[in-house]
Amino acid sequence: MKEPPRISPAMTSAPAMIKTKKLTKSNIVIRTTMTVLALLTIYGFFTFNNQNLKFWPSLMATFANFKTVFIQPHFNHFTFSQAVEGVTVTLALGLLTTIVGAVVAFFLSLLAAENLTNKTTSNIVKTIVAIIRAVPTVLWVLIFAIAAGLGSVAAVIGMSFHSISYLTKAYSESFEEIDEGAIEALKATGAGWWQIVFQSIVPNALTSLISWTFMRFEVNFGVAVAMGAAAGAGGIGYEMFMAGAFYFDIREMGTITYFILAIAIVLEILSTQIKARIRI
């Protein structure tokens, strides 16, 4: 007779329990916030006053406007040379605020990195820059416009303020990712704090610093376009504001849009080239 099959201990053991994530305070807050936003969105759709809205005619009119903007652009109230000058002003505004933000953020990030300072100082700096970063750039520009007036000065200060907070967070996180062994080795040799920063921290985090800085420059260029219209900072953004709100010339807005897209594409190509060279 054949022997009955042997049953191994693994076959008689209880099935493995499925691990589930425990609900934490942060998870509860996130889920509650998303639920509230979803309910408000549904409520908004049901309470919109759309009695006089004709969807399909409005959609066709929108497509007609896009066709006019992108297929029939022209110069009317300014010339090609003035457009190039406006783009140059906008680029200069974005570059200036990026340089100011990068220099100030570098020193603040040294205080914000936990591996370079104590936890109390790090938390204080991170809290301050988080509060600054929570306020939109437009509001900072308008706040400083009270003292300096609408124009390029208020735009530079407001944009630099936001750039400092953004880059401080990015730089400090790059510094905190540095291997502690290299820092401890320099401390063992009697190296000072500044020697550790410039001989270990900066060389190891240089790639990240350049990447974050150039990414912020791309953001600042887009913000500078908006500030040219909202804060009267000049540049190509102001020309777009005049074409759309003053002259009501959407064909000229198409010309300005193409200029902005061309610069954005060039910046993206430069960013890719720089990152490739840094990796090499």
Q: pLDDT, tens digit, for every residue of 198-239?
A: 888 888 888 889 889 988 998 899 888 888 877 777 788 888
Output the pLDDT for position 7.
Answer: 52
Quote the domain boundaries for residue 176. 80-279
What's the start-to-end Cα distance of the chain, in Å? 72
In a domain, 231, yes or no: yes
Other C-beta atoms lying within 10 Å of the C-beta of residue 210: 16
Mean pLDDT, consecutive 10-residue stretches, the chain (280 aa), reads 54 54 76 92 80 79 86 84 88 92 93 88 91 87 80 86 92 87 80 84 86 90 84 81 83 88 88 74
Output the pLDDT for position 97.
Answer: 93
Place of tokens 């990015």: 170
In a domain, 122, yes or no: yes
In a domain, 28, yes or no: no
In a domain, 66, yes or no: no
Output the pLDDT for position 95.
Answer: 92
Output the pLDDT for position 36.
Answer: 93
Output the pLDDT for position 13.
Answer: 52
In a domain, 101, yes or no: yes
In a domain, 137, yes or no: yes
Q: How many domains does one find in the chain?
A: 1
Distance CA 32, CA 256 (A): 43
Output the pLDDT for position 164.
Answer: 93
Burial 249-270 (b: 16+ CB within 10 A, else e): ebbbbbbbbebbeebeeebeee
Output the pLDDT for position 228.
Answer: 81
In a domain, 20, yes or no: no
Q: Which CATH number do you get for residue 150?
A: 1.10.3720.10
Q: DSSP 3-state assignment of 99? A: helix
Output the pLDDT for position 134.
Answer: 87
